[in-house]
Structure 1
Amino acid sequence: MMPLPARILDLPPYTPVEPLDVLSARWGRPVDSLVKLDANENPYGPAPRVRQALAELPWVHIYPDPESRALRAALADFTGVPAEHLLAGAGADELIDLLLRVLLEPGDRAAFCSPTFGMYAFGARLNAGQELDIPRRADFSLDLPALQAVCAQQRPKVLFLANPNNPDGQLLGPEEIETLLALPTLVVLDEAYIEFSHSLSLGAARSCIQQVPQRDNLIVLRTFSKWAGLAGLRVGYGAFPGWLLPALWKAKQPYNVNAAASAAALASLEERVLLGERVGQICAERERLRQALSAFPGLEPLPSAANFILCRVSARPAAELYQVLLERGILVRRYAAPRLQNYLRISVGRPQDSRALLDALEELL
C-alpha cells in the first residue's frame, strides 16, 4: 500500500448537498413533498427546448467536440467576448480546478475572502497550494485595505472573488473592481449568480466578462447551473486572457463537456428570452421573500443580488431552526463555520415554496 500525500490525507472534504431522491428515502417523504431551498438551484428547471434537445440527442456513441466549438461560438454571441478567449468546462468547478493545476507550484498561494464559495480553498489545497484567506468585514463587505496589504506582502498567484458573493449575495461595485484589478495578482471573478443582479437582461450590464480581452490579470467564470436550470448537467465557461489560454488548452481533459451538456447549453442560449423572464420571476420573489422574512422577530435577512438570501437568526439557535424545518420537509443551508453559525441561507424558490417556508416559520417563531 502506497502512502498518500499529507495534503490529501489532511484535506477537509467538500460538503455537497444531497439530491432529492436520497433525501426522500432518508426521511420517508415523497419527493414532491420536499421544499428544496438549500442549493441555489433554479426551481423552474430547464427551458422546454432543452428537454427537446436532450430527447433528440444524436451521436451519443461518438465523443463530443474537445474544443466545444459550437458552444463557444454561441457564447461569443451571448457575451460579446471573442470565442478564442472562451473555454467551456464541466461546470465552473472544473475550470477552478484546471486554473489552479496550471498556475500553482507547491506552496504557491491562492487567495480568497471568507466567507465565500468553499471550492476556492478546497481547490488550492488539492493542487498543493497554500490557502490565503483575507476575511471579509462583519457586514461581509471586502476589506480592501487588508487585501492590498496582503497581496503586496504575500504575492498570491491568484485571487478568487465570487460576484455576487456566496453566501451573502453582495455585489461588487465598479470602484471596488478597479481597486481589485490594480492588485499585483491574477483576479478571478466568479459570476455564477450575476444574471440575478440585473434581472431580465441576464446580468449583461453588471458582468465584467467583456473586459477580459483587454486585461492581462482578469478571468471571469460563468455557469449554466443557476439561470438556465442545468445544475445536473454540469456546464460552465470562462473568459481568459490570451497569454493563459495555451496552457489551459493543453492541461484540460480532452472531452470535458459531454454531448448532453453542450446540447442543453446551446438550447438554453436559444431560449434566453424565456429564461430571462424566469430570472425576473426569481428576483421578484427574492424581494417578496426578504420582506416577509424581515417581519419575523429574530430573523434578519440581508439584501442580496443573487438567487438566495442569507438570514441571521437570533430567535433561536440557527442549527435548531434548520433541524425543525428539515423535519417538516423544508431544506435550507446551514454552516458549521463559526462566522456563519448564526445564519441560514435560503434559496429563492417558487411562490408556493416561499409560502411553505413562511407558514412553517409562523408556527415555529
Structure 2
Amino acid sequence: MIKLDKNESPFELPKILKKEILKSFLKIEWRRYPKEEVEVKELISDYSKSEPEGIAVGNGSNELIQAIFLGFLKKGKKVLIPEPCFPIYPWIASLLNLKIIQTPLDSEFRYDIDDLIKKAKKEKPSLIVLLSPHNPCGCEIPEDAFFKILALKDSHILIDEAYYEFSGKSFKDFLGNHKKLIILRTFSKAFSIAGLRAGYILGSPEIIKIVENSKPPFSVNSFTINALKLLLKNRDYVKKFVEKIKEEREKLFTDLRKIGSIKPFPSSGNFILFKINKEDSSKVYEEMKKRGILLRNFDSPRLRDCLRVTVGSEKENKKFIKELKEVFNEFKKH
C-alpha cells in the first residue's frame, strides 16, 4: 500500500543516522526518567535562530496544542479557527467546552482576511488559530495581512508552522515585539520522524512557562530526546529531503492540472488538495484504495468533493498519477 494520506515524509532517515541513534541510546540509563530538554532546546535555538528560554518541547505538536489550549483558555472562552482546519483544533476545543468561532476560507481555499478581522473584532476570542501553510488546503497567510492580525490586541495568536520547511516562510521574527504571538512547529514532516513524536513552540518566556506548566512532566521520552540531539547536529539530510519534496510537489501539481476532471489548489506544504469536478470524491478515494494508494478524504462539507495527496517519492507520485488517470478513464466508460 502506498500511503499518501497523512503528509508523512516519503524518505526514511539515513541508515547511518539510525545506527548512531541506536548506539547512543544504549549508553543512557533506561531506568531513569528523561533528563530535561536543555541541550535539545539549545540545538533548536541554533536551528530556529531563537533564544532557548523562548522554546518549549513536546511529545508531538498535538500535545503542545492541548497545552496551549489548557494554559490560555478556560471553559466557555472563545477560540477563532479557520474552516476547514486541521481537525485536532476543533476536537480539543470541543473537549474543553470552548466556544468555537469559525472563519471560512474563500472559494479558492485562501484566507479571507476581512472576515477573519471582522469576526475577531466582534467576538474578541481569547485565542486565534492560524495555519501557515494551511492544512489541508496549502495556502499561506499574506505578510501584509499579518500586520492587521497582529493589531488584534484582545487575543493570543497561534501560528501553526508544521510545514514551515516546505514554504521557507515564518512569522518567527515578529515574536520579539508581540508577546501574545505563539509559533508551533513539528519534527514529523521535514525531519522524517513522525513516529518519534516531537514538536516545539517558540514564544516569549512568559508564554513558554504557561505552556510547560500545562503539560505533563517527562512527556518527551529519552529515546526521542536522544534522537533529536543527533538529528539536530546532523541536519543536512533535512534540506536534501525538503528540496526533493518541493521539486516533486511542483511536478505533481502540473500533472494534476492536466487531468480534466480535477482542480488542484496551489500548496506550500508537502501535500496538494484537489477538487473533483464531475465524480464523487468518495468513489475516487475507494477506487484508488483498491489500487493500493491511500489518499485523504474528508467529512467537512467544504471538502466533500476534495481529496488530499501527500507528495511522495518520484516513483510513488508517478504511480499515483497513472492510477488516477485510469480511474477517471474507467468512470468515462460507464
Q: Return the TM-score normalized by structure 2.
A: 0.94
Residue 355, structure 1, aligned to residue 321, structure 2: no
Counterpart of 2:266 in structure 1 is 303
1:94-133 map, 5 Å: 94-133=63-102
Q: Which amino acid aligns with 1:250?
A: N
Query: Structure 1, residues 123-142: CA drift from partner, whole Å, max 9, x if none?
Result: 11212211111111111122
Q: Is the 8 A contact 1:81 1:239 kept in 2?
A: yes
Counterpart of 1:289 in structure 2 is 252
Residue 161, structure 1, aligned to residue 130, structure 2: yes
Q: Is the 8 A contact 1:42 1:226 kept in 2?
A: yes
Counterpart of 2:331 in structure 1 is none
Counterpart of 1:144 in structure 2 is 113
Counterpart of 1:212 in structure 2 is 175
Deviates more, 1:163-172 or 1:141-150: 141-150
Indicate the RMSD between aligned Cα atoms, in angstroms.
1.3
The whole-number CA distance in structure 2 between the counterparts of 1:242 and 1:297 is 51
**In structure 2, do the counterparts of structure 1 residues 109 and 49 end up closer, same or farther at CA, with 3 Å as the change threshold?**
farther
**In structure 2, do the counterparts of structure 1 residues 69 and 47 end up closer, same or farther at CA, with 3 Å as the change threshold?**
farther
The whole-number CA distance in structure 2 between the counterparts of 1:190 and 1:114 is 15
The whole-number CA distance in structure 2 between the counterparts of 1:111 and 1:53 is 43
- Which SS does the other structure have where 1:121 is aligned? helix
Q: Is the 8 A contact 1:41 1:231 kept in 2?
A: yes
1:59 to partner: Cα distance: 2.0
Structure 2 residue corresponding to 1:196, chosen from 166, 173, 176: 166
Residue 90, structure 1, aligned to residue 53, structure 2: no
1:209 to partner: Cα distance: 2.0
Residue 231, structure 1, aligned to residue 194, structure 2: yes
Q: Is the 8 A contact 2:111 2:139 kept in 1?
A: no
The whole-number CA distance in structure 1 between the counterparts of 2:102 and 2:73 is 16
Q: Which runs of 4+ in 1 moved over 4 A?
A: none
The whole-number CA distance in structure 2 between the counterparts of 1:238 and 1:107 is 25
Q: Is the 8 A contact 1:134 1:146 kept in 2?
A: yes
Q: Is the 8 A contact 1:293 1:299 kept in 2?
A: yes
Counterpart of 1:41 in structure 2 is 8
- Which SS does the other structure have where 2:175 is aligned? helix
Counterpart of 2:30 in structure 1 is 60
Query: Structure 1, residues 269-296: CA drift from partner, whole Å, max 9, x if none?
Result: 1232221011100000011111111111
1:208 to partner: Cα distance: 1.6
Structure 1 residue corresponding to 2:148, chosen from 179, 192, 200: 179
Where structure 1 has 5 or more consecutive residues not aligned to the other structure, the ranges are: 1-33, 198-202
Q: Which amino acid aligns with 2:13?
A: P
Residue 77, structure 1, aligned to residue 70, structure 2: no
Counterpart of 1:29 in structure 2 is none
1:240-251 map, 5 Å: 240-251=203-214
- Which SS does the other structure have where 2:176 is aligned? helix
The whole-number CA distance in structure 2 between the counterparts of 1:36 and 1:336 is 19
The whole-number CA distance in structure 2 between the counterparts of 1:131 and 1:261 is 34
Query: Structure 1, residues 204-252: CA drift from partner, whole Å, max 9, x if none?
Result: xx11223323311210001000000110111000012233233223222
The whole-number CA distance in structure 2 between the counterparts of 1:362 and 1:151 is 43
**In structure 2, do the counterparts of structure 1 residues 268 and 319 end up closer, same or farther at CA, with 3 Å as the change threshold?**
same
1:49 to partner: Cα distance: 4.9
Where structure 2 has 5 or more consecutive residues not aligned to the other structure, the ranges are: 329-334
The whole-number CA distance in structure 2 between the counterparts of 1:347 and 1:43 is 9
Counterpart of 2:278 in structure 1 is 315
The whole-number CA distance in structure 2 between the counterparts of 1:131 and 1:307 is 28
The whole-number CA distance in structure 1 between the counterparts of 2:19 and 2:152 is 46
Q: Is the 8 A contact 2:68 2:214 kept in 1?
A: no
- Which SS does the other structure have where 1:110 is aligned? strand
Q: Is the 8 A contact 1:47 1:275 kept in 2?
A: no
- Which SS does the other structure have where 1:134 is aligned? strand
**In structure 2, do the counterparts of structure 1 residues 247 and 361 end up closer, same or farther at CA, with 3 Å as the change threshold?**
closer
Query: Structure 1, residues 38-83: CA drift from partner, whole Å, max 9, x if none?
Result: 0000010224454124312022222112x31111010011111100
- Which SS does the other structure have where 2:254 is aligned? helix
